[in-house]
Amino acid sequence: MHTSLTTAPFGRTGMDLTRVGFGAWAIGGGGWSFAWGDQDDSASVAAIRHAVERGVNWVDTAAVYGLGHSEEVVARALADLPEADRPYVFTKGGLRWDENDPAKPSERVGDPASLRFEVESSLRRLGVERIDLYQMHWPAEDGTPIEEYWPVFRSLVDEGKVRAVGLSNHGVAALEAAERIGHVDSLQPRLSLLHRDAAAEVLPWCVENGTGSIVYSPMASGLLTGSFTAERAASLGSGDWRSKAPDFTGEALVRNLALVDALRPIAERHGVSVGTIAIAWTLTVPGVTAAIVGARSPEQVDGWVGAGDVRLSEGDRAEIRAALETTGAGDGPVIG
């Protein structure tokens, strides 16, 4: 796929990624434990197609998003694209849900047989013969050590079912254990101005080991878009996981929105949204290949698609550091 957007090499995978990719968490729809509420599938399809038209060359989803539904929506959006125009498709496994109780939290499962069942299910829902990146969504909690589930991922590459494999939400100890078995092609950690721990911990490991990194929630699940308000937070429905999240309530919300206000002058200087500045900041962190950004409409895509081309000056970054220190927003070291 040819793109006019800025790209970066994705570790040793041979893929070059646009600095922003389409995140398909929210478009999974409602009715599961980490849903964003009900969604309009047609709007979701339009958003994905618009992102691809604007030059975004990868989509990140997961089996658990909407309990399979997000993968199906991604497949629908990409079904009639010519092969040369198709973006890379990344997904994740290792979370198993109860078909009889969709609202019940998924279990983190590393059992090899379960993982093989999951990858076949994702291949079928996505309508592809090979997944470009397959990731373990969270460390297993079923008693399966990484020494038993990581070899499954590497064997999927050998079998041609996936092109590259990665870990999501895993720490340095797990990364080192996996790397001893076979190369960790990619890592997917949470990173934003509000949650900065990855910059001090796992991302330096990625730099040292030639591992690509795609970071999630760079706009802190909507908080750093510039359009989020205390009133909006108070009106979040019970079907939206954010209604119960600490970042969206109490003093933390006050600090977070104060940080947004402090970012507005920087955004105005660049002629972009606050959310674009928040994403651009994550792209300055060493070890970050690209950022995953969600959208539920073409208009939302237009709000962030240019983030990879924004160049933050040292003055901008100093202003951001000062804002973090003054507001006390978020957690992790004040860097950048």
Positions marked active-site:
65
Residues 276/331, Cβ–Cβ less than 8 Å = no
Tokens encoding 265? 């002058």
Report how far residue 74's alpha carbon sits from residue 91's, in angstroms, rounded to the nearest whole number.
10
In the DSSP assignment, the letter for residue 133 is: E
Q: Given the structure tokens 């990146």, which residue do they identify?
A: 133
Report how far residue 88's alpha carbon sits from residue 59's, in angstroms, rounded to the nearest whole number.
6
Task: Please choose, from the candidates 26, 64, 59, 63, the residue with its C-alpha nearest in 3D space to the C-alpha of residue 43.
Answer: 26
Measured N-to-C along each axis, helices 172-181 and 202-209 cross at an angle, to the nearest 10 degrees, of 20
Under DSSP, is residue 150 helix (H, G, I), strand (E, B) or coil? helix
Report how far residue 297's alpha carbon sits from residue 50's, in angstroms, rounded to the nearest whole number.
9
